[in-house]
């Protein structure tokens, strides 16, 4: 994923290095590349669907910068307040986004959005309120998969494309306990 990022290769490194050595360096960087203290590029690009369908889910330098901004402005403050959080969907390549039948203009494809697992509606509302009160964000949706007890929080942050709207919607408002 990081072969396109010149910032990860020192200027003093010879341009004549063997491809194998560059691949080993890139793989090491990719495995250990953290966008912020608690969020890695690997975590923000992980996808079971991409693995299953052999889709390369690799952001470019601009998308990585946007993921970093999302982590800095929303995910890190959330992590510091609530402890460990699990990202269920971060960056999505266009091909992965298509495979998921998602909106073609999804902020996930720009590196601006993440979905966060929440164990129940109450915890989701706590996180929702925290982000509303303490973070700048573009869009936040507390969502639930129909007829299941599965909840997630979708949150996005725009670092270089227009302004952040701070739009927050609880789509679980009419939720009934799943039994």
Q: What one-character-per-residue DSSP string does 37-74 give?
A: TTEEHHHHH--HHHHHHT------HHHHHHHHHHIIII
Per-residue buried b or exposed e for 55-76, using 16+ beta carbons within 10 Å of the residue's own CB: bebbbeeebbbbbbbbbbbbbb
Identify the pLDDT of residue 123: 95
Express each pLDDT in 129-138 by its tens digit: 999 999 999 9
Q: Which of 163, 156, 153 is nearest to 112 (CA)?
A: 156
| Predicted confidence (pLDDT) per residue in 13-68, tens digit | 334 333 333 343 344 446 568 999 999 999 999 999 999 999 999 999 999 999 99
Quote the pTM value.
Answer: 0.80
pLDDT category at 85 given cuts 50, 70, 90 is very high
């Amino acid at each position: 994923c990081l072969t396109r990022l010149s910032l990860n290769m020192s200027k003093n490194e010879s341009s004549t290095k063997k491809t194998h050595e560059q691949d080993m360096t890139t793989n090491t960087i990719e495995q250990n590349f953290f966008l912020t203290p608690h969020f890695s590029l690997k975590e923000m690009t992980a996808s079971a669907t991409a693995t299953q369908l052999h889709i390369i889910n690799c952001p470019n330098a601009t998308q990585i910068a946007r993921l970093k901004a999302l982590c800095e402005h929303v995910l890190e403050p959330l992590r510091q307040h609530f402890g460990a959080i699990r990202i269920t969907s971060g960056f999505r390549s266009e091909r992965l986004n298509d495979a998921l039948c998602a909106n073609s203009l999804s902020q996930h494809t720009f590196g601006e959005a993440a979905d966060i697992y929440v164990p129940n509606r109450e915890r989701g509302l706590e996180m929702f309120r925290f982000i509303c009160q303490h973070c700048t964000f573009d869009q936040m949706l507390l969502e639930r998969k129909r007829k299941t007890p599965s909840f997630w929080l979708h949150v996005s942050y725009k670092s270089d494309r227009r302004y952040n709207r701070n739009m927050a919607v609880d789509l679980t408002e009419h939720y009934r306990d799943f039994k």
